[in-house]
Structure 1
Amino acid sequence: MQRYFLDTTVHDGERISLTPAIYHHWVTVLRAEVGAQAEFVDDTAHLFHGKLLTLDDPATVALTAVPTPSVELPVDVTIACGLPKQEKAEWITQKATELGVTHIIFYGADWSVAKWQGNKVAKKVTRLTKIAHGAAEQAHRLKRPTVSYAKNLAAVLNAPHDVAVMAYEESAKQGEQSALNQQLQAVKAGQQLLAIFGPEGGISPAEVTQAQAANATLVGLGPRILRTETAPLYFLAAVSMVLELQQPR
C-alpha cells in the first residue's frame, strides 16, 4: 500500500484534503479511484489508513487509525559525509533513508574535491530533502530524515549527539575490529549517535585530531576499504544488526 506523509496532526475518523503533491502522485500518476486506500503518517509518527472519497481537486480522504508498527531505529543516527563527487550525495541520501538514518549532514571536508557554492547550497539541500522524503515513503518509515549542509567538520561536531564515531581508513588498515562494536554496544535506546565519514580524498590528519579532541572514537568498518558512498551504508546496517536484530523482543 502506498504511503504518504502529512505535515499536520490528524485523528481517527478525520477527513482531510490531499495536498497538491500527494494528489498528483496518488490520483494523477497512480490513477487512484474513489474507494482506493493508502497509508498516511502524521507529524506525530502515527499511522492511518486513508480511503479516497472524492476525486475533486483537492480530493477528500477519510482516515482510520491503525496500530503503528515499530520500524525506526532505536537510536537517532546522524551521518556526516564529506562532500562527495557527482551524484553520490543523492545515492547516499536515498539508501541511508531506507536504512533508517535520522539526520544527514554533508560537510566541506579538508580533502573534498566537490564544492558546494554558497548560492547553490539551498537548492541542493531542497533536492536531497525531496529524495529523502520519497525514500522514507518507499521504505514505509514513520519519520522523514532531515538533510543539511555544514561548512566544515567543526560545525558537524557541534551537532547534538551522545556518542560520536569517525570511520577512519587507517583504522581498517591496522586491523582494528572492536571499537565500532564496543561503541554500538554502549549506545542506549533513545540516544543520539553521530557517525562521520570522509570524502573520496579521505580524512585529513587535522580532522582526525579535531574529532578526537571532541571525544569521537576512531573506528574501522571491517577489513576492507570502502568507498565514500558505501561506508555510511555499512555503518547503518551494523547499527541495525547490533541494536535491532540482536536485541530480545
Structure 2
Amino acid sequence: MISRFHFDGRLPDGGEVALPEALAHHAVRVLRLPDGAGLVLFDGHGGEVEAELVVRGKAAFARLGARRDIERESPLQVVLVQALATGDKMDWVVQKAVELGVAAVQPVQAERSVLRLAGERADKRLVHWQQVAVSACEQCGRNRIPQLRPMQPVLQWLAANRAATNFVLAPGGRVGLAQEPPPAGPVHLLVGPEGGWSEGELAAFDAAGCRRIVLGPRVLRTETAGLAALAVLQARWGDY
C-alpha cells in the first residue's frame, strides 16, 4: 500500500513542497521510504494528491501530481459525546471512532468521571487526541479530519444541544436503535464514563427529550459502547 500522510497546510496545485520536519522524519527515518517512493498527501480540506518523495540530504520534499476529488465521509453525521475515560481508553475511542466515520468527538466531564481535566492539561490532551484522529485518517483513507471539540461539563453541553437528535446509551434503556426512525439531521451519541451516568444526569437527559438507547441485554464498557453504536448507526443510515 502507498503511504498516506496528512500535510499541515494547503497543498498547491502541482509543483514541489517541502515536507514538515515530523512528516519527513516519519517517512524517511521511521518508514525508510526511498527517494522516488510514491505517496498520497491530504490536507484535510477534501481530496488527496498523488506525490513522489524527493530526498535531498537531510531534507525531504514531495513532487505533487494529480489531485483526486475522493471523499470517504459518511452521509450520516454522528458526533460522539464521550465522557472522559481513564488510561489510554480515550485514545482508543478516538482512533476507532474516526475509522468508523464519526464527524466529530465531544469530550465531556460527567459526574462520575474518574479522569478530571482542566486548563493546560485539558488543552494538551485535546491536542494529543486531535493527532490521534489525524493518524487514524492517514490509516483509514479519510481526507477530512474529524474535529475534537473543546472539553466541557456534560450538562453545559446539553443546554446548548437540547434540540438535536440525542441518543443516550444507558443500561435499562427503553428501546434499541433498530426501533428508531431515520434521523432528520446530525446525531449526537452520548456515552457515559466507567461508572455510568448519574441519576441526575439521566433525569436531565430525559427532561431535554434525549432518547435512551440500550445495546442488547449486556452491559458494555465505555470504550466499547460508543463504537458498537457507531457501527449500528452506519449500518442503518450511513455507508455500510
Q: State the TM-score, normalized to the length of structure 2.
A: 0.88
Q: In 2 relative to 1, CA 57–159 (structure 1 residues): closer, same or farther, beyond 3 Å?
A: farther
Aligned-pair identity (%): 29
Q: How far did residue 59 of structure 1 move?
A: 2.1
Instruction: Render the CA deviation track for 1:169-216: whole Å, top value 9, x for unaligned.
Output: 121xx6x33xx2354x4225xx32211011111111211222233332
Instruction: Render the CA deviation track for 1:90-131: whole Å, top value 9, x for unaligned.
Output: 111111121111211221111222222434111222222222
Alignment of 1:1-249 (within 5 A): 1-157=2-158, 158=160, 162-171=164-173, 176-177=175-176, 180-183=177-180, 185-188=181-184, 191-245=185-239
Instruction: Render the CA deviation track for 1:138-171: whole Å, top value 9, x for unaligned.
Output: 1121122222443311232225984211111121
Distance 1:161 1:96 in 2: 24
User: Is the 2:76–2:238 Cα contact (8 Å) retained in structure 1?
Assistant: no
Q: Give the secondary structure class of the aligned counterpart of 2:96.
A: helix
Which amino acid in 1 is paired with 2:168? M
Deviating beyond 6 angstroms after TM superposition, the runs of 4 or more aligned structure 1 residues are none
Which amino acid in 2 is paired with 1:181? A
- Backbone CA RMSD of aligned residues: 2.2
Distance 1:236 1:227 in 2: 14
Deviates further, 127-136 or 157-166 = 157-166
Which amino acid in 2 is paired with 1:240? Q
Which amino acid in 2 is paired with 1:186? P
The alignment covers a number of residue pairs equal to 238
Deviates further, 29-38 or 194-203 = 29-38
Q: State the TM-score, normalized to the length of structure 1.
A: 0.86
Instruction: Render the CA deviation track for 1:8-51: whole Å, top value 9, x for unaligned.
Output: 33344232111112101111211222211111112321111111
Unaligned 5+ segments in structure 2 are: none
Distance 1:187 1:153 in 2: 22
